[in-house]
Structure 1
Amino acid sequence: MTTLPRATIAVAAVFACLAACGNPEASPAPPPSSTTATSTTTTSSAPPAPASSPPASTSSSPSSSSAPAVPGGKVVVLDPGHNGGNGSHTAEINKQVPAGRGQMKPCNTTGTATNAGYEEHAFTWDVANRVKDELAAKGIKVVMTRPNDTGVGPCVDQRAAVGNQAKADAVVSIHADGSDSAGAHGFHVAYSNPPLNAAQGAPSSKLTHDLRDGLKAAGFATSTYIGTDGLSPRADLGGLNLSERPSALIECGNMRNAGDAGTMSSSDGRQKYADAIAKAIMAYLS
Structure 2
Amino acid sequence: MSYTGPDFDPPRPRRSPLRRTLTVALAALMPGALLGWGVYAAVGGPGGGGGEERAAPVPSSSAPAAGGDDAKEPAGGASSPATASAPAVSGPLKGKVVVVDPGHNPGNFRYPDEINRTVDVGTHHKECDTTGTSTDAGYTEAAFTLDVAHRLRDLLTRQGATVKLTQDGDRPYGPCVDERARIGNEARADAAVSIHADGSAAGNRGFHVILPGAVHAGAADTRAIAGPSRDLGERIAGRFVRVTGSAPADYVGGGTGLVTRTDLGGLNLSKVPKVFIECGNMRDAQDAALLTSGAWRQKAAQGISEGIVGFLRG
- From 198, 206, 217, the counterpart of 2:231: 206
CA distance in 2, matches of 1:284, 1:205: 10
**Cross-structure match for 2:116:** 94
**Cross-structure match for 1:30:** none
CA distance in 2, matches of 1:55, 1:247: 27
**Cross-structure match for 1:178:** 199
- From 205, 210, 233, the counterpart of 1:190: 210
Q: How many percent identity over aligned positions?
A: 46
Q: Does 1:235 align with 2:235?
A: no
Give the structure with higher Rg (CA).
2
CA distance in 2, matches of 1:206, 1:175: 19
TM-score, scaled to structure 1: 0.77
**Cross-structure match for 2:291:** 264
Deviation digits for residues 69-95 of structure 1, max 9, x if unmatched? 734200000000000110010000001
Partners of 1:2 and 1:20 within 8 A in 2: no
Partners of 2:214 and 2:222 within 8 A in 1: no
CA distance in 2, matches of 1:162, 1:199: 18
Specify which structure has the higher proportion of helix.
2
**Cross-structure match for 2:96:** 74
CA distance in 1, matches of 2:3, 2:227: 30
Cα gap change, 1:71 to 1:87, in 2 (>3 Å) = closer
CA distance in 1, matches of 2:11, 2:195: 11
TM-score, scaled to structure 2: 0.70
Deviation digits for residues 69-122 of structure 1, max 9, x if unmatched? 734200000000000110010000001001222x10000000000011100000
CA distance in 1, matches of 2:251, 2:101: 24
> How many residues in Structure 1 have an aligned counterpart in Structure 2?
237
Unaligned 5+ runs, structure 1 = 6-15, 23-53, 63-68
Deviation digits for residues 248-285 of structure 1, max 9, x if unmatched? 00000100111110011111111111111111111111
**Cross-structure match for 2:246:** 220
86-95 or 264-273: bigger deviation: 264-273
CA distance in 2, matches of 1:277, 1:197: 22
